[in-house]
Chain A
């Protein structure tokens, strides 16, 4: 009886060892299963939709990026022109003239961008341009950006300015598309193309360049 028990136990042990070894062998022969439950990233896509394997798609993407950068480079010449940049100064004093000197009279931005005390913008900048040399141009809504969101252009490289435009805390716009709306329809922006030394592009061409920059991916310039 004692021998019988020992024999039975002995065989049971061998059977268990065999089963474990068999399972281990099968697992070693099978490919490793992905641990990532996201099937789309775990399973390699068909070669036809892999951009990395498609030189034509690569070239097209690069071409669009270059065109986007080129469009911004042209729009940048307008953004940095005195008619635009003078109201986007790096400090709280607006700029004046084609040499972008600080505004005479020590005018300051003020919290709402409309000046301070007896030096509010609209005190001198009336609803229309005044005729005569060195007299203030005018528009009913003459102002700078607000103190809370000063939207500084002055001193920014193309890359820095493009980054700023893509930052909603800089622009206050919900999406970059609102930048197009601003440059296309804002009456003060449009007015900038109508007096003094004009920006290097027409308003229409300027808007087209801003649109092209965004439509082709809003690529950041290299510098």
Chain B
């Protein structure tokens, strides 16, 4: 049995230590907001936060999370999720939507570390998250708006 903390809740899961975190959160904990994309850390669709860092859950064994805190899209703190959700809705970012969980989890780290990101900062933060629909320009616009909303809320 492996003890996990996910979105502030304690879980005990009966899985092998090398099972990827993505499998555990989707199949065992039924937190299906996080998506499987490539399975090789290439696309960013599976991004979750582990002790605040944006890890690729598809290549991270669940043993990596023992004693640490996992945050998924379902548990993102409101100070980050609220401005991002509002901006994403306002700009109407998603097309198919499959990659957007990973995009938002990556954007949340950018906003946490940089209150007023430039286009270059956004490119540096988001270039690891691939969108096959090509919504990059809207993502960039939405991040600027989310940063503005976050600044005005504090």
Contacts and interface: CB of A to CB of B under 8 A. Distances in A.
B42 A123 contact: no
Contacts of A130: 59
B contact face: mostly helix, strand, loop, or mixed: mixed
Given A118-B125, A119-B127, 4 more contacts: A106-B123, A118-B47, A120-B54, A124-B59
A117 B114 contact: yes
Interface string A106-134: 11100000001111101110100010001
Given A105-B42, A106-B124, A106-B128, A124 B114 contact: no
Q: How large is the interface on A (under 10, 10 to 19, 20 to 34, 35 or more residues)?
A: 10 to 19
A172 interface: no
Contact of A117 (B40, B55, B56, B124): B124
A126 B109 contact: no
A119 B124 contact: yes
A106 B127 contact: yes
Interface in A117-154: 117-120, 122-124, 126, 130, 134-136
A119 B106 CA distance: 8
Interface string B84-122: 000000000000000000000110011001100000010
A134 B41 CA distance: 9
A126 B62 CA distance: 12
A104 interface: yes
Nearest to A122: B53
B60 interface: yes
Contacts of B54: 117-120, 123
Given A106-B124, A123-B54, A118 B109 contact: yes
A118 B110 contact: yes
